[in-house]
Amino acid sequence: DAMVIQNPRYQVTQFGKPVTLSCSQTLNHNVMYWYQQKSSQAPKLLFHYYDKDFNNEADTPDNFQSRRPNTSFCFLDIRSPGLGDAAMYLCATTAGFATNEKLFFGSGTQLSVL
Amino acid sequence: GNSVTQMEGPVTLSEEAFLTINCTYTATGYPSLFWYVQYPGEGLQLLLKATKADDKGSNKGFEATYRKETTSFHLEKGSVQVSDSAVYFCALRVIQGAQKLVFGQGTRLTINP
């Protein structure tokens, strides 16, 4: 059974139209991450939550926001998507920051911007 | 800074061929090193890891050895199968107030029967 679930699998939005991607987990993990993976590029960390504490990467554009209403769910909001935001968005979770903790990834949401 | 450089793809091999995918890294300190695999339509899955110099990670016939002297973590498999077709990512983990993975750009592997 999937432990990190991302919906939808494919998302199409229009240029400038706000879009929300969702991630849920059944692992009760404290930490949730959002990565952006553009075609043929490395996944790039956007931000993460440790419990309710939000941590933004320094180079994440302001256009990207996140919400975590409870332990199980985390949302990625793109306020005004541009063509350059078309990518695969990956959610990942881990129990904590101990060196032996494993990351669990969802299947990703492929975002297209028209 | 921290970075990972992987062998350019795509790589196409015949079944039962020997596989090497090169990975080198730049990091401060001594990071843990990982190989992740992404099958079509799926998320990233941990394939193997090594947490210190000279450690060898292995799983499903794949191996990689943490070489501090050459800052490398090359992935190898002696005899590949069609089911190994996927994208492979080398990654290092840093602890900067949080556990973070820094990925290479990925190498697409296709195995032909």
B4 touches chain A (CB under 8 A): yes
Min CA distance, B113 vs chain A (Å)?
25
Per-residue pLDDT at B42 = 79
Rounded to the nearest 5°, which phi and psi values hold at A73?
-120, 145
CA-nearest residue to A5 within chain B is B43
Lowest mean pLDDT among A94-103, A104-113, B61-70: A94-103
- pLDDT grade, residue A28 (50/70/90)? very high
Which 3 state secondary structure label does DSSP give B101? strand
d(CA B75, CA A6): 29
From A97's Cα to the closest Cα of chain B, the distance in A is 5
% of residues, chain B, pLDDT over 90: 78
CA distance A22 to A108: 10
Comparing CA positions, the residue from B72, B52, B73, B53 lying closest to residue B63 is: B73
**What is the distance between the alpha carbons of residues A91 and A24, in angstroms, rounded to a whole number?**
9
Distance separating alpha carbons of residues B51 and A32, to the nearest angstrom: 22
Q: Find, in chain B, the residue whose alpha carbon is nearest to that of A110.
A: B41
Among A47, A105, A110, the residue to mutate for chain B (most B Cβ within 10 A): A105
Taking Cα atoms as reference points, which of A27, A44, A23 lies closest to residue A96?
A27
pLDDT band (50, 70, 90) for residue A68: very high
Among the listed residues A18, A41, A43, A20, the one whose alpha carbon sits nearest the alpha carbon of residue A33: A43
**B5 CB within 8 Å of a chain A CB:** no
| Sequence letter at residue A88 | M
**Which pLDDT does position A77 carry in this prediction?**
97
Per-residue pLDDT band for B30 (boundaries 50, 70, 90) equals: confident
Output the pLDDT for position A95. 86
Mean pLDDT over all residues of chain A?
A: 92
Q: What is the pLDDT of residues B53-98, one digit of tens each?
A: 999 999 999 999 999 999 999 999 999 999 999 999 999 998 777 7
> Does pLDDT of A99 surpass 70?
no
pLDDT given for residue A1 in this prediction: 64
CA dihedral B4, A47, A29, B30 (to 10 degrees): 30
As a whole number of angstroms, the distance between CA A95 and CA A85 comes to: 29
